[in-house]
Each structure stands twice: as structure tokens, then as C-alpha cells.
Structure 1
Amino acid sequence: MTAGIRLSAITDRIARAATSVGRPVGGVTLVAVSKTHAASAIRPLLEAGQRDFGENRVAETAEKWPALRDEYPDAQLHLVGQLQSNKADEAVALFDAIHSVDRPSLVSALGKAMDRAGRRPDCFLQVNIGDEAQKGGCGIADLPALIAQARAAELPVAGLMCLPPAGLEPAPYFALLAKLAREEGIAGLSMGMSDDFETAVMIGASHVRVGSALFGARA
């Protein structure tokens, strides 16, 4: 199956899920998670029209994307992995959106990096929606304070992000994230991956992060 056929199948499924709940099809951004995949695997998706891509690591992104962006300057890069505060300057320079803002020290580092760069990528605040010790993300009780800090630091708070607990029905966790966003007046919801993106779209996702369904098994 070609990259174009896989992409078309995913976009069709997103469209059907959106239409089923009366959402506009254009209200969902597909982020193709290209982490660990070489430029040779990414280029066919770019050729097929995909423009939003998700990466996990600053160093990997800096290595493989400059040449691709020379060819496709309208490509949008999303950081979907955890970010160390000492990589804030590099992340601000490389990415158009950062989906893993999850703690006060990172908010502070990003605010200073954005001031220095004169560039303000969209930020999604990651919520530890299942209260899992092994996962990144802000605790639900701590979210209002983190949002206030992010807004004070003039971070563009575009949305909330979550990773539901593995092996459990994701819908209640997506619904909880949507409720938290509504309460805080936040529009974006980065939620849903290859196994559950249709559920996420039906509950209001603005961004779905799809990797294996587009690229196959990770390298």
C-alpha cells in the first residue's frame, strides 16, 4: 500500500468520524508522527499532500528536517515527545507547535526562549489524564495554575494534550480532557493516536497524532 493510499484512508476515516457528530471535516488536523522514520519514508507523504508532522526529539528533528523543509517550506513540525528545559531554545527554533508543555520550569524556559527568538510556537499543555506515575503531564489539580503561568509568560496556549492509559477505553479520558479545556476557555485538543483517533475526533479532538497507521511499524 502506497503512502498516498494510507494517507487517503486515514483522512477518510477522520472525515467520517467528524461528520457522524456534526463536526466540520476541516476542524481536525492530522499530525503524521514521523519519529524514528527516515526522510525517505517521510517524503512520499509530503508528496501526497500531508503537511503536519510529529517528532519526539529535538536532535533527530534538527538532523533530518532542514533538507525536507527546503523542499516543502510549508511543512509544519509538532513536538510530541517530552522536552527538557535546556532544549527550549532549539525547540522554539525548530517547531511550529509543542504538545508536551507539562511543568512550571518548562513554561519558564519556553517563555524566555520565545522572547529571545521573537518566535512563538503554539503550545499544548500536557495533562496526566490517567494520573499515571510513569507518564509525563501536569496533574489535573495543578492544571489551572500551569495555564495561568503559561498565559502570563505569553505562551500561545493553543490546547490541551493527553495520552490515555494503555489498555483502557479512551473515551472517558478524552471527554475529561475536553471538559477541562472548556472550563479554561481553551479551544484545542491534541488527543487520539492510530488505535483511537476516530473516538477522539467524535469527542472533539482538534489534532490527532497518527504514526503506525501511516508509516507502519517503527524503525
Structure 2
Amino acid sequence: MTTIADRLAVAQSRIAQAAQKCARLPHSIHLLAVSKTKPIADIIAAYDAGQRCFGENYVQEGVTKIESLKTTHPDIEWHFIGPLQSNKTTLVAQHFDWMHTLSREKIALRLNEQRPANLAPLNVCIQINISDEDTKSGINAQQMLPLANSISQLPQLRLRGLMAIPSATDDTEQQTRELSELKHLFDTLKQHYPDVDTLSMGMSNDLDLAIAYGSTMVRIGSAIFGERDYSSKETTI
């Protein structure tokens, strides 16, 4: 029987091989294990295999897991990677370490105001809608620098970089075009904000290409935890 530890090792090996192909150091690419809809026991299994960074898409589900594990597993780094409505910003500001999907100044202002003073600034990534799909969240390229400027002035937020979900396609040319544009935007952002260090892009289907185009954080879920059951997920994100 294949275990979570086995699948995690395979994912880490894929990252290392992809990094070596483009002359990058494997440790420069972080694996974010996407644990949405999965039970706490699965997170603990991945933790016991060495994983420390976990991504959650649904606010209340994520907060429940954080609260359950904060005493026994205090070194877990929790990343919020789902769409966020303004009525749930308080929960993200108070419980998560990272927020990957920032695309509105209103949300940035709320997160900054609601981040507890005793916590480190919330790490945030600006989400880019690189495929220009109506069904995806994120901003266009022209909006990136104005939003980054707003975030940079908020003391309880720390701008770390960009996040995107490129098109789910087998068209390598389209994938390459979108990933290349993201790399260009990331480099542009770094020119204005040298402390920026995170390009969150790439999942199981495009991991190799994403790493070739500079991804520093790949998000892998089902390949580690198995297929998902969405029947009990939150209806309002």
C-alpha cells in the first residue's frame, strides 16, 4: 500500500529532478502540500514524513485544523490559497502565516488592520490571472505594481511575491507563454521590491515547466494525499 510518506517522497524527487534539469538547486524550491478537504490525520502523516508547509483553500476548515494542531505541531506553516471574501479576512489575518491570493486593496487593508500585533506580519502574494479566464481570481499585469505599492505601505503585511494558476491544458506552447509572462512579472516586481522572493506557481500537471520558469513554490495536493471528496466543503469561501 502506498502511503502519504511514499507519495511525498515521489513529489520531492520530481522537484529535485526538475530543478537539476534547469541547473537550479532543489532546496530553492519549496513544496506546499495542499491539504484541503483532507483529515488532520493525513496532515500529521505528512508532518511525520518531514513536511512543514500546508495549504488550505477554505477558511473555516483551515482554521479548525490550525487550532487543532497549534499546540502539538507549532512549527507548521499555514498558507491560505483560496479566494477570500471580505467577511472572512479576520480569520485569515488571525490564524494563517501566508495568504497567496491577494488581488484587492480592500482585502489588503482589512488584513493589515486585523493582523494581531503580537504576530509577525502576514506574508502575502499578489494573485495574477495570467490566463485571463473569467472563472479565475486575480488581477491583470497592469494592476500589479499599483497593488504592490499599496501593500508595501501596510506594516502588518509583508509582500513576498506572486501567485498564479496557469491554464489547465496539454498545450505546452500556451503553458510556456503564460509561465514566461509570470517570470517576467516576477522579475519586474523584484526590481521595485528587492525583498520579494516567492513565485508560487506550478502543480502536478505543470511542475517541470513551472520550475524551469523560476517557480520557488509548487502546490501539490492529490498526488500526496489522494483524490478529494468535496461533498462536505464550505459552500461559501
TM-score normalised according to structure 2 size: 0.87
1:47 — aligned with what? Answer: 48
Aligned partners of 1:31 and 1:54 also within 8 Å: yes
1:208 — aligned with what? Answer: 218
Structure 2 CA distance for aligned equivalents of residues 116 and 44 of structure 1: 32
How many residues align? The count is: 219
1:5 — aligned with what? Answer: 6
Does residue 208 of structure 2 align to residue 198 of structure 1?
yes
**What whole-Å deviation, never above 9, does each CA across 1:2-42 have from its counterpart, x for those lacking one?**
11111111101101111111111111110000001111222
Determine helix, strand or coil for the equivalent of 2:134: coil
Moved over 3 A (4+): 115-119
Which consecutive residues of structure 2, in runs of 5 or more, have no partner in the other structure?
A: 191-195, 230-237
**Letter of the structure 2 residue corresponding to residue 52 of structure 1:** C
**Letter of the structure 1 residue corresponding to residue 203 of structure 2:** M
Structure 1 CA distance for aligned equivalents of residues 222 and 97 of structure 2: 22
Structure 2 CA distance for aligned equivalents of residues 23 and 148 of structure 1: 30
1:78 — aligned with what? Answer: 79
Aligned partners of 2:93 and 2:112 also within 8 Å: no
**Letter of the structure 2 residue corresponding to residue 217 of structure 1:** E
1:156 — aligned with what? Answer: 158
Determine helix, strand or coil for the equivalent of 1:133: coil
Structure 2 CA distance for aligned equivalents of residues 19 and 88 of structure 1: 39
Structure 2 CA distance for aligned equivalents of residues 60 and 128 of structure 1: 25
**What whole-Å deviation, never above 9, does each CA across 1:61-112 have from its counterpart, x for those lacking one?**
1222322232221111100101112222211221111100011111111121
Structure 1 CA distance for aligned equivalents of residues 87 and 50 of structure 2: 34
Structure 1 CA distance for aligned equivalents of residues 223 and 26 of structure 2: 19
Structure 1 CA distance for aligned equivalents of residues 161 and 132 of structure 2: 19
Which consecutive residues of structure 1, in runs of 5 or more, have no partner in the other structure?
A: none
TM-score normalised according to structure 1 size: 0.94
Identify which range, 107-116 or 147-156, moves more after superposition: 107-116
Determine helix, strand or coil for the equivalent of 2:71: helix
Match runs of 1:70-149 below 5 Å: 70-114=71-115, 118-149=119-150
Aligned partners of 2:93 and 2:116 also within 8 Å: no
- Identity of paired residues, percent? 34
Does residue 69 of structure 2 align to residue 68 of structure 1?
yes
**What whole-Å deviation, never above 9, does each CA across 1:164-192 have from its counterpart, x for those lacking one?**
12224322212211110111213310001
**Letter of the structure 2 residue corresponding to residue 2 of structure 1:** T
Structure 2 CA distance for aligned equivalents of residues 64 and 180 of structure 1: 34
Aligned partners of 1:34 and 1:55 also within 8 Å: yes
Determine helix, strand or coil for the equivalent of 1:189: strand
1:181 — aligned with what? Answer: 186
Does residue 25 of structure 2 align to residue 24 of structure 1?
yes
Structure 2 CA distance for aligned equivalents of residues 216 and 115 of structure 1: 35
Deviation of 1:59 after TM superposition, in Å, equals 0.5
Deviation of 1:52 after TM superposition, in Å, equals 0.5
Aligned partners of 2:161 and 2:189 also within 8 Å: no
Aligned partners of 1:93 and 1:119 also within 8 Å: no
Aligned partners of 1:55 and 1:79 also within 8 Å: yes
Q: 2:167 aligns with which of 165, 190, 196?
A: 165
Aligned partners of 2:36 and 2:56 also within 8 Å: yes
Determine helix, strand or coil for the equivalent of 1:181: helix
**Letter of the structure 2 residue corresponding to residue 173 of structure 1:** E
Aligned partners of 1:125 and 1:160 also within 8 Å: yes
